[in-house]
Structure 1
Amino acid sequence: MNHVLYGQLLGNPIIYLDDEMIHFPFAKINALVYYLLINQTVSREEMASLLWPDKTETSAKKNLRNTIYQANKTLGDDYIVSLANQILAWNDALPIELDVDHLLNDDPFNPDIYQDEFLHQFYIKGCERYDNWLNQMRRFYAHEFTKKLYAKVQHDIEQKNFAEVERYIHRLTSIDEFDEHYYQLLMNYYHQRGMYSKVIETYMHLSQLLNQELGITPTAETEAIYKETISEVQKSQHHKKNQLPDVYFSRPEAMATYEEVVDRFVSGNTAEVLLIYGETGNGKTEFVERMQQISTLDVLNVAITAKKMYAKNSGYVWDKWLTRLADVLQNCCEKEVSDSIDAIRYHALHQEHDKEVSYTQVDKVYQTLKPLLMNHKVIVTIDQFEQIDVPSLKLMHLLVSDYDLPILFIWIGNGQTLPETQQIINQLRHTHFCHEIEIKPLTLHQTEHFITNLLENKQQTMPQAEKEAIYHFSGGNILFIHEMVNLYMKGQPITQLTDKMAASIDKQCSFLSQDGIELLETLALFQKGVTMPLLSSLIGLNLMPMKRELKELFRRNLIIEETHQGALTIRIKAERIKHYFDEHQNKTLKKLMHGKIADTLIEHHGIYLTNTQDLSQIAYHLRHADRVLEALEYELAYLQHSLKFRHELFPVYNQEQTGTIETLNFTPAEVEERLEMIQQELTAIENSREVDIVFLKLELRFLYIQGRYFIRIGSYEEGIDNILAVIVKAKEINESDYLLRAYFQMIYYCI
């Protein structure tokens, strides 16, 4: 019975003999076998020169004879035979099967037969002609595979057999990442399925790839699919039932709005404003840069960034964008415009005794720019718009409202603007000159997906709990997610504020008054929300100044109102901002403030301590004020109130009730965790200081509460041991209250 030889040549090459993997002694045997499997026959001279190009003919042929012998010996039969002593060939009498034959001949076509390129990673050193043959065959089989797979994908799409379509197209792009036909096929597939965000994502990826690697833009056919998709998205915005999900990486609705505004501007003759806003770190600047990068419209792009250090310098943004415009016009049109531009700079327009630039001077700007911008459309992008100086903004406002210059101002900001700036924006909204796009934070689902993609690039994974922790701390902010994932991969605490995180929050809190900063610093000290009377008492502000500061913090979306157990409270909205203001305070001052908060809560018990939860709050602040014994006193009071102890008869025969706790705030595991924590704190205090009567009373109270808890859950022996310890210790320090309580508990036990 003949054995079957199978050659797997597409991918990492493997030779099987009856399903058993064959290992040849040296690589040139493999090279000979692979060459013969593909070509069937070859002359001895050709094969010798291919494998031993640096040897003499005699030496090369000798090596070849040995190689043939070793190959047949390893295979166990004469698979390689000699015809007329000059030609090498495979023995026709022995069955051979090759995956490359299945690729070329099988019907139906099986895409999985092509595992990777022909003889993947196989290489023979010093054999250039053999290497050339390898590359030629790799191109041939890759072409045959992609041709067949492309046809199969087209057929599957036509038949609506979508199960493997996306995977197959990604295989095509992995073989040739610059072939636009594959991306067009993928975009058409997504479009047909209504997955518009995926169409846009694919287009953006292709545009970036072609621009960076080849310096070109997508073809008209590719752009047509993209434009059609944008049109569909714009239509869907008018029908709530067809709204697209917000996808972080492409933001289809935001892109559709951007395209709509820019297209209308290019086809029209009026100046407009596009305001793009959202939290610092949400990707606003990247969004605009990508949109401008993939745009094929004939426009001049002028981009500047406003700076905080110059925000009080009148006209600095106005002069900055004019300077950049002059550079752009000089580069693209070779126009000498410096004299004209100098004539309309802010200092040239502003009269010394006038508060504002007059309409006459604004008209001068118009008359100067009109001829310079003839046959041009200009997009002026101002990043960090919240830092713009008001005089510059007023000039832009007048240009947009009263003149027909071909300028589109794109203002990118975090919304933390001055009141005067906000007033001008509101006026533009009212007159419909201002269009808006909000770049929102990611949702929990989008954050999880985003983190997964980030980690896939690094070949790492992350537990679900860590992903949720990143979301809750970051609030879905892309910059913070990036930084926290980097910290996670370095094995560092994910809530450790990096320089980028701190700079982001600095921007978000720009222009806050000192009173506003102090309010945030005080709110950051609390675990939860704070009532207005308590906050006012701590800050020391009168009603009207407090109202102004809180109004500004609400406007900047830094704080929120909540109702907690019937009381109206205020807290910092984002956990990352709370963490920032807590970390950036002086440690000594923080201790003093925590102590002040605790004392205020204790002093005004009737006003502020509306429930047992406030006992825990006092304990929290006392602990952070390094007043540990007082903190333990309130922690024990909190436990005692929460557990709602009642004296029961023992033993408890109802097994269904045994081990259950009727508490206000805790699960059994949480109670035991708190008891363990208090036990450790008491032990630490006992080991580090001289024991006094205050400590002994605390220890007594703890033993009593712990004993009552053990009895409650049915651990009678442990519970009674605690109660007996209470009796002994209460006698030692003459504490009659707990002595009576302990005896009372023992009476119930003995009944």
Structure 2
Amino acid sequence: MKEISVHLLGNPEIWAGGEKISFPYKKAEAFFYYLCVKKKVSREEVICLLWGDEDETTGKKKLRDAVYQVKRILGKEVLFTWGHTEIALNPEFPLKTDWDEASENGEGLWGAGFLEHFYIKNCYEFEEWTQEVRRRLSEKQAQLARERLKEAAGRNDAAMLQKYGNILLSGDPYNEELYFELMNLYAQNGSYTMAIRLYSDLQKLLLEELDEKPSRRLTELFHRIYTMKEAVSCEGAMAELPFVGRKRELYRVNCFLAEEGVETESAKSVGCMAVSGENGSGKTAFLEQGARLAAGNGMLVLKSSCYKQGEEFYLSPWNDIFQELYQLVAKDGEAKEEGKAGGESRREELKKNLSCFLNGSGGEEVSRMTYPMVEKLALDLLEFLTEKSRILLVFDDIQWMDSMSCQLLNRLLHLLGREKLLLLCSMSREEEARAMGALEPVLLRDGVEILRLSPFTREETDELIRKYLPELSGEEEKKAEIYRATDGNAFFLKELLNLIREKGYTLEKSRRTNYVIQARLSGLSARERDVLGAMSVFPEKAGVEELELLLPDTDRLSLLRVLESLQERFLIREVLVGWNVHYQFVHRVFQEYVCERQSNGKRMLYHQMLAACYEEAAAQNRRAALLPLVIYHYEHCHNQIKACQYRIEWLKEYYTLINENFPVLHWSLSDLDESLRVTPPADEMIRLAGELVGLEGNTEEIRRMKLEMNYIRGRYDIAHGNYSQGLSHIEEGIRLSRELSDQRMLLSCYKQQIFYGIQVEDLERVETYTEIGLSLAAEGLDREERLSAEQWIEQGPSDTGQSPEDISPGKGGMPGWAKGTGTEEKRRRECLEEFGTFLRLRGWYNLHTGQYGRAERALRLAGAVFEGLGNEYGAGQAACLNYIGDVYRLRGQPDRAVSFYKEAIGLVEKEPVIIGLGQFYANTGQALYQSGDKEGAEQYLKMAASYLRKNGCIWGLERVEACLALLFLEQGDPERAKEHYRTGRELSDKIRNPQTRKILETVGLRLKEEEKKTEGKEGKKTAL
């Protein structure tokens, strides 16, 4: 049954098995298209749609013929008919339409109309239907494009903004509101050129088509954006550092400065904009940029700064402004005198009053100048100047403004209104409440908008480095280190980049940075300094319990009060991990500064206390997440032996999970992702392991460390196909295990020899090490148990007929296992674990040598061993079920095999990471392919490929790629088959698995046959 592909968007086409299908007449084709959209129709509606001008008998006859033509051309199963009433598409028939796919994901809707250039003469009802579908399609396109436009704006994605903006404009090219919205979005995202170009396109369109001009509102927006483009420049100078990535914020300032005010989703029409941010975020420079924008818009800008030292001196921030006002009035007077204009008396009076206020030249008059007189003077001056232009007042650090200055400012804003006077000010995040109190009268009238400057993102930091230090553009690790060191703070970033430019690459703190940190910490109490000192030794965050351990003289309530005080100063912040509250420094540079200035003795003592605490906790609950913390603190108190021991423990457990298909874990890894945050990456861990292998000395402790590291390195290399190097490490591990009489590690090294043999199907190696390992593991069991197990494997039924859930001790005649107590029980569990593992590996060997009965019995017995050991051995039990599934698949019973595979999947699917799950998916896919379920096979094989890639496992992935190539060949898709074939070949050359090579050889031959067929068809066409 060939798959049918129907294209309804654009020029309609029907394809079956790679060939284009044609209908003998258009109404039969139109009927099929109508059915593809509706899925189920009544005969009456189709007759009315296509043969409405015919009588009923003729219409029914022609519909029957159309149904016949569809079935004849596409297949009888394509349609269902219910008597004489309804017709429907068969949902089980392999038919796909671009209409359905586009409706699901939306992407296919762009740029194509419904049934374009498909027309039936004198069939008006069908034409009306197609027009209605096109209208709905256009509405859906516009709705979807608007949603995607908002998403693109949120991501600051200029390319997607342009794409979806063009889609909206293509459907409504004269809508000025749409142009206004798009220009605003472009400008908010810093794409000023795109906004200007959009205005130019509209201007040209209106002039050519309608001989009109854009509206005044749109023209004003154009001028604002053009002014902003000219005023904002981020290239080059470090003075403009904070404006890399501040495009949205600056556009909000631009909207705020507009004469009539512009209300957008992110801004409202107000008379005051307050810029808030942490120290060093670039607030002062941002105000300077806002002042430049205002000047570019023709506004008069008056600037002043407030200082903490001057908050007790009344009207001190206004002195600079009155000085500038005096110069402006004097300059305006000279211009008027040259122009012989009137109003001289008013100007002279203002000039005289200003001079009295500034220079004290009025004698007793000045001494008697009261607040109402100052307010009147300021109001008169500003009213006089606003006759020509609007005014922007700019105050930096407004939280330090004295009360009289605040009163004057609020009064002026109220009396003059935003039409004449605007206020742009900055305030520190720590003093935001105080600043808002000063502006309370304006705040109560809803006249204040707060704009918060956040630290730079990683992308913005990279942009700045690229512009200021282009030689570091390709140094990804160095750029990441710069961002980690500064946390995106503009001041720290600027200082560090200056230092790098001066000295070369370094992460040290500049003198100015140290002064700023020192000033921030200068007002702290002794207890607050102690808490910060304790927090500074943690790699990331600290819990209250750990801080109590380091600060035993501080009770919990007092400690929480200190932590709250430090949060109010924005030195630390709360971090929630589940329901647990932790604390960390807001900036890494503060943490480093505090840590560096503690005595070495105190630092080492803190690290020793924390290392011992985490070590005890790790031993109690076996949480692997604690191991990196134990390692970190032992390293920082210079206890290298302990650090190495725990690093080895962590490496063993980590790579057991990563490199083994069916791991038996001795630590809880449910929070593995959390622990990896303070763990070096794999390459770094392997490098450290290599250093430990090279340690000099022959003490038992050093030899044991070398044994562990050789085992870890060997296992890692074998899993990644580096066989010669991996086997060399394992052979060394076997030698050291025998020297140290370490039976557990010796068995582990034997297993790696077996795993290598499995990967390359070296059956002789598998048999040799399996039998040696099984004998060694069985030494810890009772003689009767060993004999009972061997007897059951040799003499048990060849086909038990049991279902997957019947693997339990005692079932089907299988032996049970006695339990001991205390130390004896622990030793027995270890022996049973190894015995079960080697028994499973013997089952694999029997399976691949065609001894299916012995294989199944060995695997069932191994599964019973693992089940008896408990839930933590679920991966081992699942592996046995998987291999039993292989037994039935190779016996030609794929349906039964699938039941075992799915049972295995169910056992481990909820585990954190089990690499073998990818193998289970792959085997299920193979069995479903064997049973003829191609759709199910594709689903499971794709799941296997995704899972194996996600977890970095290449063993087994080559087989999945080979099977997918074979599957797509069966489905008539040679191009996708080639793609998977190439990937499978690349992986197979490294893994060298014979079974996979056979599958790939089959695929290669079939692909060559397909190519010959294609060349033959093309040759015939050329001849014709």
TM-score (norm 1): 0.51
CA separation in 1, counterparts of 2:465 and 2:248?
Answer: 20
Q: Secondary structure of the residue that 2:385 maps to in structure 1?
A: coil
Distance 2:472 2:637 in 1: 41
CA distance in 2, matches of 1:744, 1:297: 80
**Aligned ranges 1:599-748 → 2 under 5 Å:** 599-603=609-613, 611-643=623-655, 669-678=683-692, 683=696, 696=699, 698-710=701-713, 712-713=715-716, 715-722=726-733, 724-725=735-736, 728=739, 748=773
Deviation of 1:273 (Å):
3.5
- Residue type of the alignment partner of 1:375: F
Amino acid at match of 2:324: V
Residue number in structure 2 paired with 1:321: 317
Gaps of 5+ in 2: 1-158, 160-178, 197-213, 228-241, 263-268, 331-350, 719-725, 750-771, 777-1024
How many Å separate the matches in 1 of 2:182 and 2:217? 12
Distance 1:595 1:488 in 2: 34
Shift of 1:556: 5.6
What is the CA-CA distance between 1:660 and the residue it aligns to? 13
Task: Trace 1:255-270 onto structure 2 (pairs within 5 A).
Answer: 255-261=251-257, 263=259
1:532: which partner in 2?
544
User: What residue is the counterpart of 2:222 in the other structure?
Assistant: 229
Q: Which aligned pairs between 1:233-382 and structure 2 lie closer than 5 A? A: 248=244, 251-252=247-248, 254-261=250-257, 263=259, 272-294=271-293, 295-296=295-296, 301-307=301-307, 311=308, 314-316=311-313, 318-334=314-330, 335-336=351-352, 337-340=354-357, 363=372, 365-376=374-385, 379-382=392-395
Measured after TM superposition, the shift of residue 505 of structure 1 is: 5.3
**How far has the Cα of 1:511 moved from its partner?**
5.8
Where 2:465 maps in the other structure, the secondary structure is helix
In the alignment, what sits opposite 1:130? none
Native 8 Å contact 2:485 2:507 kept in 1: yes
| Alignment deviations for residues 5-60 of structure 1 (CA, whole Å, 9 cap, x no partner) | xxxxxxxxxxxxxxxxxxxxxxxxxxxxxxxxxxxxxxxxxxxxxxxxxxxxxxxx
**What is the CA distance between 1:548 and its match in structure 2?**
3.8
User: Residues 254 and 439 of structure 1 are in contact (CA less than 8 Å); yes or no, is this contact kept in structure 2?
Assistant: no
Give the whole-Å Cα distance in 2 for the aligned partners of 1:591 and 1:677: 29
Distance 1:661 1:485, change over 3 A: farther
The CA distance in 1 between the partners of 2:285 and 2:312, in whole Å, is 27
Evaluate the alpha carbon distance shift between residue 725 and residue 489 of structure 1 in structure 2; reply closer, same or farther with a 3 A threshold.
Answer: same
Show CA shifts across 1:471-496 (max 9, x none): 44444444455455555556733423
Q: Deviation string for 1:99-137 (max 9, x for gaps)?
A: xxxxxxxxxxxxxxxxxxxxxxxxxxxxxxxxxxxxxxx
Kept in 1: contact 2:548–2:554 (CA 8 A): yes
- Which position in structure 2 is the counterpart of 1:26? none
Q: What residue in structure 2 maps to residue 595 of structure 1?
A: 605
Question: Is the contact made by 1:274 and 1:435 (CA closer than 8 Å) also made in structure 2?
Answer: yes
Does the CA-based 8 Å contact 2:273-2:424 persist in structure 1? yes
| Cα distance, 1:521 vs structure 2 | 4.2
Number of residue pairs matched by the alignment: 483
- The one-letter code matched in structure 2 to 1:615 is L
The AA in structure 1 aligned to 2:599 is L
Distance in 2 (CA, whole Å) between partners of 1:369 and 1:271 is: 22
Bigger shift: residues 620-629 or 658-667: 658-667
Question: In the alignment, is residue 572 of structure 1 matched against residue 585 of structure 2?
Answer: yes
Query: Post-superposition shift, 1:601?
Result: 4.9
**Is 1:551 aligned with 2:561?**
no
Contact persistence 1:528–1:571 (CA under 8 A): yes
Secondary structure of 1:327's aligned partner: helix
Partner SS, residue 430 of structure 2: coil
Q: Which residue type is aligned with residue 676 of structure 1?
A: G
Alpha carbons 2:276, 2:283 under 8 Å: kept: yes
User: What is the CA distance between 1:534 and its match in structure 2?
Assistant: 1.1
How many angstroms apart in 1 are the aligned matches of 2:523 and 2:432? 7
CA distance in 1, matches of 2:614, 2:480: 38
- Deviation string, structure 1 residues 157-194 (Cα, Å, up to 9, x no partner): xxxxxx9xxxxxxxxxxxxxxxxxxxxxxxx9x99897
1:748 Cα deviation after fit: 3.7
Partners of 1:382 and 1:412 within 8 A in 2: yes
- Residues in 2 aligned to 1:434 and 1:192: alpha-carbon distance in whole angstroms: 25
- Distance verdict in 2 for CA 1:431–1:509, change over 3 Å: farther
- The within-5 A match list for 1:102-501 is 195-196=186-187, 200=192, 227-229=220-222, 248=244, 251-252=247-248, 254-261=250-257, 263=259, 272-294=271-293, 295-296=295-296, 301-307=301-307, 311=308, 314-316=311-313, 318-334=314-330, 335-336=351-352, 337-340=354-357, 363=372, 365-376=374-385, 379-385=392-398, 388=400, 391=403, 395=407, 399=411, 408-417=422-431, 420-421=434-435, 423-424=437-438, 429-455=443-469, 461-487=473-499, 492-501=504-513
Cα offset, 1:542, TM superposition: 3.7
Which letter maps to 1:383? D
Q: Equivalents in 1 of 2:554, 2:432: separation in Å? A: 22
CA spacing shift, 1:305–1:525, aligned 2, 3 Å: farther
Aligned equivalents of 1:701, 1:445: Cα separation in 2: 46
Alpha-carbon separation, structure 2, partners of 1:362 and 1:445: 51
Contact 2:495 2:510 in 1 (8 A): yes
SS in structure 2 of the partner of residue 375 of structure 1:
helix
Contact 1:199/1:226 (8 A) holds in 2: no
- 2-side partners of 1:645 and 1:372: how far apart? 77
Q: Which has the higher contact order (CA 8 A, sep 6+)?
A: 1
Alpha-carbon distance between aligned partners in 2 of 1:226 and 1:440, rounded to the nearest angstrom: 32
Root-mean-square deviation over aligned CA pairs? 5.4
Q: Distance in 1 between matches of 2:408 and 2:521?
A: 25
| Distance (Å, rounded) in 2 between the aligned partners of 1:708 and 1:375 | 87
| Alpha-carbon shift at residue 328 of structure 1 (Å) | 1.3
The 1:200/1:548 distance shift into structure 2, 3 A limit, reads farther
CA contact (8 A) 2:710 2:733 kept: yes
Distance 1:709 1:376, change over 3 A: same
Deviations 1:441-487 (A, max 9, x none): 444444434433335xx688433444444444444444455455555
Task: Give, in whole Å, the separation in 2 of the partners of 1:551 and 1:517.
Answer: 14
Whether the 8 Å contact between 1:704 and 1:726 is mirrored in structure 2 is yes
- Mark the CA change 1:636 to 1:535 in structure 2 (over 3 Å): closer, same or farther: same
Return the offset for 1:251: 1.8
Shift of 1:275: 0.8
Partner letter of residue 706 of structure 2? L
Per-residue deviation, residues 485-521 of structure 1 (Å, max 9, x unmatched): 5555567334232345446656777866555555444
Distance in 1 (alpha carbons) for counterparts of 2:519 and 2:439:
20
Contact 1:272 / 1:400 at 8 angstroms: preserved in 2?
Answer: no
Contact 2:281–2:490 at 8 Å: present in 1 too?
yes
Supply the AA of the counterpart residue of 1:305: S
Percent of matched pairs sharing the same residue: 13
Name the structure where helix makes up a greater proportion of residues.
2
Residues 566/670 of structure 1: CA separation in 2 closer, same or farther (3 Å cut): farther
Mapped partners of 1:193, 1:400: distance in 2: 31
User: 2:290, 2:298 → 1: CA distance?
Assistant: 14
| 8 Å CA contact 1:380, 1:408 repeated in 2 | yes
